[in-house]
A = this chain, B = another copy of it.
Amino acid sequence: MHAFAVSGLPEVRPGDDLAALVGDRAELEDGDVVCVASTVVSKAEGRTASLADFPAGPRAREIASELEAATGDEKDPRFAQAVLEESVDLLMEAPFLLTETRFGHVGVNAGIDRSNTGDAELLLLPENPSESAERIRSGLDADVAVVVTDTSGRPFRHGQRGVALGWAGMPASRDWRGETDRDGHELEVTVESVVDELAATANLVSGEGDGGTPVVVVREFAFGDHGGSDALYREVEGDFVRQALRGWEYARD
């Protein structure tokens, strides 16, 4: 398996055709997985915004003061308003805002970026990253899969890592159910989230800074002869950590 960045991509602008930008700069092959950082998908889709676009309502003002109290830093209630408008569920209010986006992803600040945003103050996540992935995919000549990625944190472990937000041309997961181990026993690991593993691979190559490499091609990834599934985001019903967060309140000591 190989992973390489597509070089020479310009600053992406609203309305840009990402498939054309990539297709002109990379010799794609059938079976490649094209990993595209959500930041450039958002830019191409015009998902830039200003704080002034989000006049803060009472709930956002309440959240901002709670965050100020918890962190000791000044918080702009308009940013809290932007996060609320991008979200369908609020999992944590303090010491940071953890929400579920409209498309099901759980992340801090609804994934709204304030770095690598071009001229804009805010960069919102794509509205529907799997649709974005399909649009890019259908604009490319080779028969590839596309994964739209972001960088995001997680409980239990420090640091952030690449995750998939949307995908097209392949399932989200590789299904090992019913298969057996080296000794003929049934496997315990049943569903491998390959789009997240591909996003992590892409992140190793693209980095988080000013590298200018938002697109990474993974070549010769062998999905193998397995079933697949497209469920990536857990439902609240089966997500016990999320249920635990419901009753919980942050107390600064």
Contact = CB atoms under 8 A, between A and B. Distances in A.
B158 A115 contact: no
B233 A244 contact: no
Contacts of A205: 1
A155 B241 contact: yes
Interface in A123-181: 151, 154-163, 172-174, 176, 179-181
A200 interface: yes
B156 A180 contact: no
B155 A191 contact: no
A29 to B, nearest CB: 16
A248 B179 CA distance: 35
Nearest to A224: B207
A196 to B, nearest CB: 5
Contacts of A182: 11, 116, 118, 210, 212
Nearest to A207: B224
B248 A176 contact: no
A197 B201 contact: yes
A155 to B, nearest CB: 4
A119 B189 CA distance: 19
B208 A176 contact: yes
A186 B113 CA distance: 12
A52 interface: no
A44 to B, nearest CB: 15
Contacts of A103: none
A200 B117 CA distance: 28
Top 9 A-B pairs ranked by shortest CB distance? A159-B193, A244-B248, A155-B241, A200-B200, A106-B156, A197-B200, A115-B181, A159-B191, A189-B208
21 contacts: A92-B240, A106-B157, A115-B188, A116-B181, A116-B182, A117-B183, A155-B240, A156-B233, A156-B242, A157-B193, A158-B232, A158-B234, A159-B193, A161-B193, A176-B208, A182-B212, A192-B203, A198-B204, A200-B201, A207-B224, A243-B248
Given A157-B196, A198-B204, 7 more contacts: A3-B3, A156-B234, A157-B233, A159-B172, A181-B209, A200-B201, A243-B248
